[in-house]
Amino acid sequence: MTFQDSIKLVAAGDGRWSGEVDPAYRGFGSQFGGWTAAALLRAIGLEPEAKGSPLSQSVLFIEAINDGPFEISTRLIRSGARLQFWRSELQQGGKCCAHAQVTMGVRRETTRFTDAVMPESPPPETEGLQEWAPPSGFGAQYQMRWTTPLPRSPDVDRTKPASSLVWVRDRGGRPIDVLALAAMVDLAPPRVIWKRDAISGSSTVSMTTHFHATPDEIAATANRYVLSEVHCRRCEGGYFDHELKLWSPDGALLATSEQVAAFRD
């Protein structure tokens, strides 16, 4: 069983796919944004005209997604020799709930390097690392072992940046794939709770993800932990943004992401 088994899509006509929300990935008042992003991406991957692998995805989260059926429509905007540009839209109850722009690319052998540096962190199996995941349906699907203090921990220094390092893996032992990465990049507690002694819910407004992992790196990572590195850039006016990197335990940069989220004090 893979993560994509939680996203069952059935052809409903040209460029249209029907599905059912998986209640195991419910969030706070809506479906987990990572699951939604993965569903939008999967619909494009199922299209017969799709070629290559995902390079990037930008998602707008417009309306809450409730339990029950939904439909995704897809549209190929342009297709070239190595690049494709797609749109996908998730609708429920006659409303557009989420919209994505996806770039697909055929990769080739070229010069390669990574300037980003994986931060130092004790291995995920290190004894004494604290475990905590968001108290929600989707949080129960993941194991999270923190190498920095837990959100709202008395050990958090609120004068320092709202940054975190946490090892993450699927609790069911399912190996990662591109869809799993599309979901994991949204698995980051609200940055505001690093600065105030209170619980704050948040909802993702927009999220852009870049997929860097090669097939060999994905296969090598399998069902092991990946390291999530998150840094907030600014929080103001009821919104914050953060940047996120996902690293394999072997030091490969698998995906990067940034998002804007809304919160209430």
Name the nearest CA neighbour of 69 among 53, 91, 50: 91
Q: Quick: pLDDT tens for 62-120.
A: 999 999 999 999 999 999 999 999 999 999 999 999 999 999 999 999 999 999 999 99
Residue 143 identity (one-letter amino acid): Q
Name the region of 251 (left: φ>0; alpha: ψ -120 to 50; beta: rest): left
pLDDT value of residue 1:
66
Mean pLDDT in residue range 122-144? 93
pLDDT at 4 > cutoff 90: no
> How would residue 128 be classed by pLDDT, with cut points 50, 70 and 90?
very high
CA–CA–CA angle 133, 37, 175 (5° rounding):
60
SS (H, E, C) the chain: CCHHHHCCEEECCCCEEEEECCHHHECCCCECHHHHHHHHHHHHHHCCCCCCEEEEEEEEECCCCCCCEEEEEEEEEEECCCEEEEEEEEEECCEEEEEEEEEEECCCCCCCCCCCCCCCCCCCCCCCCEECCCCCCCHHHEEEEECCCCCCCCCCCCCCCCEEEEEEEECCCCCCCHHHHHHHCCCCCCHHHHCCCCCCCEEEEEEEEEECCCHHHHHHHCCCCEEEEEEEEEEECCEEEEEEEEECCCCCEEEEEEEEEEECC
Rounded Cα–Cα distance for residues 39 and 207 (Å): 14
pLDDT value of residue 64:
95
Residues of CATH 2.40.160.210 domain(s) within the chain?
3-105, 130-263
Q: What percent of the chain lies above the pLDDT cut of 70?
A: 99
pLDDT value of residue 206:
98
Q: Quick: pLDDT tens for 78-93.
A: 999 999 999 999 999 9
Mean pLDDT of the chain: 94
pLDDT at 239 > cutoff 90: yes
Q: Quick: pLDDT tens for 154-212.
A: 788 888 899 999 999 999 999 999 999 999 999 998 888 888 876 777 889 999 999 99
Name the nearest CA neighbour of 60 among 186, 183, 206: 206
- pTM, two decimal places: 0.95
What is the CATH number that goes with domain 130-263?
Answer: 2.40.160.210
Mean pLDDT in residue range 239-247? 97
pLDDT at 47 > cutoff 80: yes
* Check whether domain 3-105 has CATH 3.30.310.80, yes or no: no
**Residue position matching structure tokens 């994986």:** 118
pLDDT value of residue 200:
72
**Residue position matching structure tokens 């050990």:** 155
pLDDT value of residue 193:
86
pLDDT at 10 > cutoff 70: yes
